[in-house]
Amino acid sequence: MAANRDDFPAVTSRPRLVTPLFALSFLAISGVSLWLMRLEPTSEGAFAAYQAEVDARALPDGTPLETRYTGIWAVDWMLTFMVAAFLPGVAGADGGVRLQQSYLLLQFGTVVGLLAVEASRVKNRWRVLSFTSTFAFFYQLLGGAVICPLWFVAYTLTSVRKTYFLEGRGASSSRVKALVPAMVLGYIIPTLAMYVPYANIATTQYVIAFWQFAPIVVDLLVFLFRALLPSSPPVTPRTPAPGSESGDMKYLRRLYRVLFVTAALDHIATTGAILTSTSPQLGLCHVFLPSWERRMLGSGQAMHWVFQWDLCGIFGSALVWCLHEVCDLRRLLGARDIAGPVPALALVCAGAVALGPGSALAAMLYWREEKLALLDGRLEGRAKVA
């Protein structure tokens, strides 16, 4: 039987209230995170010990803080503050602070990968979503829980155009081919390197300082690997069918698998450490639940408070974005192919508990890519029978 135009439903506009509802949700998460991580603790004096250490350029035990990293005063000044903030979680005595911080940073790799993929899409070229290094600069400075929701706002507003999905999901094959080595060498390995017990604290501080540039290094490595790796055929707006291993899909699937495995192993190791330890510092509440009382006990606990809320804000906004994507894909592909928002949200939450929020997000990205490829195939079929 010949294909009928009605077999390929047209792309419909997003309901009018959906975009402002999600955008306001992301803005609320960003604003609350800024209050909880920066403004409220500062007003209550929670960061007094941290500020005193930076001013004295020394830790409470007399260990000097390094102040020269690049030779550029403004950069070194910011790095001194950032290294002092990360140091209790990297080399401090509280194992719970260290466990939570390393957990956050390894889970966050999936978010770095998400931003890199969306920047690689042809339709996002020279749009706000393509400037990942700018977002990276600000989330390293202010916190992912403050800035990542703003990226989700930008995505929500960019994708509201009816033509956004008509332009296809295609990404630059040469760029996505470079993403896996760039993520591994530029982000995952530097993150793991921070938690190596070095012979002296100065080396640890230099490694922490280098890590502050890791998300930007990912972009630089993508540029480098694009020049070194064999070129691929030019990308087209349309993509291979789901299940195909040609074009950019092969490399995107590979990236999502790497991000999933990294976050899952981190989650399993963290869960194992909590379940098998008898130390109060490695208790579930101490590791993950912010405490108004503990944050006043010194710079290490104050920074622990910041990183705990950072984890909540980053993956809270990512969870809302997953719901946003399910609603969009259900609208575009129909209820027959996409589960309802509530069951989908429950599945993502269950995955986050079982294997970590980074793994749940990576699995969502893999599934989303397959559905976007399916949408492209249907749009192409509609064009052929038009």
Read out DSSP for 64-92? Answer: BPP--SSS-HHHHHHHHHHHHHHHHHHH-
pTM: 0.91
Query: pLDDT digit string (tens) for 87-96?
Result: 999 988 889 9
Query: How long is the chain?
Result: 386
Domain-wise residue ranges, the chain: 17-228+246-380
Query: Which one-letter DSSP state was computed for residue 171?
Result: B
List CB contacts of 355: < 8 A, sequence separation 6 or more: 260, 263, 264, 267, 268
Query: pLDDT digit string (tens) for 328-360?
Result: 888 888 877 787 888 988 999 999 999 999 999
Distances (CA, A) of 82 to 89, 109, 185, 197, 317: 12, 19, 22, 19, 24
Per the CB < 8 A criterion, the answer to whether 59 and 65 are in contact is yes
Angle at 164 between CA 326 and CA 369, to 5 degrees: 45
Angle at 52 between CA 307 and CA 68, to 5 degrees: 80
Question: pLDDT digit of tens for each residue in the chain (386 aa)?
Answer: 444 544 445 556 778 888 999 999 999 999 999 999 999 999 999 999 999 999 999 988 788 999 999 999 999 999 999 999 999 999 888 899 999 999 999 999 999 999 999 999 888 888 999 999 999 999 999 999 999 999 999 999 998 887 887 777 888 788 889 999 999 999 999 999 999 999 899 999 999 999 999 999 999 999 998 888 765 554 444 445 444 455 788 899 999 999 999 999 999 999 999 999 989 999 999 999 999 999 899 889 999 999 999 999 999 999 999 999 999 888 888 877 787 888 988 999 999 999 999 999 999 999 999 998 888 777 766 555 55
Tell me the three state secondary structure of residue 332.
Answer: helix
Average pLDDT over all residues of the chain = 88
